Structure 1
Amino acid sequence: MDVNDVIGEFESYLRFERDLSPHTVRAYAGDVTSLLEHLGGTIDGLDVSALRGWLATQHDEGKARATLARRTACLRTFTAFCHRRGWLPDDPGLLLGTAKAPRALPAVLDQEQARQALDTSPTGEPKDLRDQAMLELLYATGIRVSELCGLDVDDVDRDRRVVRVLGKGRKERAVPFGAPALQALDRWCVHGRPLLMREGSGPALFLGVRGGRIDAGTVRRVVHARVRQVEGAPDMGPHGLRHSAATHLLEGGADLRSVQELLGHASLSSTQVYTHVSIDRLRRAYNQAHPRA
């Protein structure tokens, strides 16, 4: 088959059958394009040696282990797809091993830093009311920035203090939030959102200054700017607030399974990194306080 047809069908499979995000589809398509260029523009002769050869060139170019692990996952998906289509007699991706990527401990705010970042008095301007509501909701729920941007007004259940979130793989979950987030949302929805609404605003909960649905870049800038105001706090964006929320839940006694459900993690291993953060803090406190540490 023509290489462009192969890539086109693979993209369609990822988008419509796997329902992957546009970002993931672009990344996988780019990886496969690079692989096929390495093979001379054909899938003929695509075997495990060819896959390892391409990964070796990536390693020689200085790609990080995490990047290589992701690209290996892409290759497995691609070869399985080609095998099912009958373009390959067998699936060479099954023979690929994956170097385990190191998992660095995420930077988090301590509880006092989180309080300082959130305990501010909005000026009453629509943008300030919006920013405060977004920050409160991100920290209260630990939702992803993409999930925040996708929220509609009807996704917020004020009586039960629950927000309905559409996460990865279009999996829906309900996430509770507290009174401070509810108050900030009420101020935004009553006094801020109506002033930014335009004809094409639709049901989006959070709006940009031109009335359209808020974008992830704007949310990141808001979070970075607010956290920078806290002395001694690590620089972080929305994902840092997600890390902080998960860590503080565990430090407060929440069980790991509950935190997994709140964050929308498919695997418990993704949630366990936050226990490492808490243990690391416990160890530092022990070393500082115990006379025989």
Structure 2
Amino acid sequence: MDYSPLFPSNKLRSHTEIPSVYTPEEIFQLLEYIRNSGYTNKRRNYAIAVLIAVYGFRAGDIKEMKLSDIDWQNETIRVDQSKTKQRLVHKLTCHTGNALAEYVLKERPEGTSEKVFLKGDGFEIKSSVTISTMIFIAFIDSGININGRKHGSHSLRHSLASNMLSNGAGILEISKTLGHASVDTTRIYSKVNITRLRLCELEVPRHE
């Protein structure tokens, strides 16, 4: 039975575009592809993708991240948001810590730059487009069915928010995690989840 009529479409109308999101299984497939890929800078790319998928960091803020922003002793990682001028501090998980350590110790070029993520030649990444393009290409190469969805770095950020909401997180918690200046920005993800429900056909069990 189709329960779409239970979710009136006129409540979804808005001038704000609904973000493209991916399931946890698709995100895992993407990360595993990058980790095991033949990319020249695969450890760097993997660490970047993990940071966006786990914390929702923006590509531009990752580009500016310094080695001093990683506190190995206290197991925290911070980022200064250029968009909101806020500082975010998160617990460094085993997954993110290992990904960063693998890159810094085994692949990161030596040099004088304090930036965490560098190009293969040791120079700094000049544009956030470089990061978004890397994610864009990885989505395509991974074999994930894009199905008309956007697939740049922001889609990982959007997916984190949507999946947090699906797992019971509140709007305020999601807003704090992503570093939104206003909770109104975060509310768009509730529309994403309602849209998912409207597209589902639920089978009603038969009682005999």
TM-score by length of 2: 0.81
Contact kept in structure 2, 1:122 and 1:132, CA below 8 Å = no
The answer for unaligned runs of 5 or more in structure 2 is 1-13
Larger Rg: 1
User: Aligned AA for 2:180?
Assistant: H
Alignment partner, residue 107 of structure 1: 20
C-alpha distance in 2 between matches for 1:222 and 1:125: 10
Deviations 1:158-202 (A, max 9, x none): 355432111124221213453222211110011011xx233xx42
Shift of 1:102: 0.3
1:192 and 2:107 correspond? yes
Question: How many angstroms apart in 2 are the aligned matches of 1:125 and 1:115?
Answer: 18
* 1:239 maps onto 2:154 in alignment: yes
Counterpart of 2:120 in structure 1 is 209
Are the structure 2 counterparts of residues 169 and 281 from structure 1 closer, same or farther at C-alpha, using a change threshold of 3 Å?
A: closer
CA contact (8 A) 2:76 2:92 kept: yes
In structure 1, what is the equivalent of residue 32 of structure 2? 119
Distance (whole Å) between structure 1 residues aligned to residue 168 and residue 98 of structure 2: 25
Cα 1:161/1:271, change in 2 over 3 Å: farther
Structure 2 residue 38 is the aligned partner of structure 1 residue 149: no
Alignment CA distance shift 1:163-1:289 (3 Å): farther
User: Superposition RMSD on alpha carbons, in Å?
Assistant: 2.4
Partner of 2:134 in structure 1? 222
What is the aligned residue count? 188
Structure 1: tracts of 5 or more residues without a match? 1-100
- Answer whether contact 1:164 1:172 (CA < 8 A) is retained: yes
Judging changes above 3 Å, is the alpha-carbon distance between structure 1 residues 251 and 177 closer, same or farther for their aligned structure 2 residues? farther
Identical-residue share of aligned pairs (%): 26
**Per-residue displacement from partner, 1:31-59 (whole Å, max 9, x unpaired)?**
xxxxxxxxxxxxxxxxxxxxxxxxxxxxx
Distance 1:270 1:124, change over 3 A: same
User: 1:239: how far off?
Assistant: 0.8
* Counterparts of residues 67-146 of structure 1 (less than 5 Å): 102-120=15-33, 121-122=35-36, 127-146=41-60
Report the Cα distance in structure 2 between the residues aligned to 1:141 and 1:216, rounded to whole angstroms.
17
Q: Please state how far the C-alpha of 1:235 moved relative to its aligned partner.
A: 3.9
Q: Distance in 1 between matches of 2:144 and 2:77?
A: 31
Equivalent residue for 1:252? 167
Distance 1:105 1:183, change over 3 A: same
Secondary structure of the residue that 1:289 maps to in structure 2?
A: coil
Structure 1 residues 180 and 124 mapped into 2: Cα distance closer, same or farther (>3 Å)? farther
Q: Report 1 or 2 for greater relative contact order, CA contacts < 8 Å, sequence distance ≥ 6.
A: 2
Aligned partners of 2:75, 2:40: CA distance in 1, in Å? 23
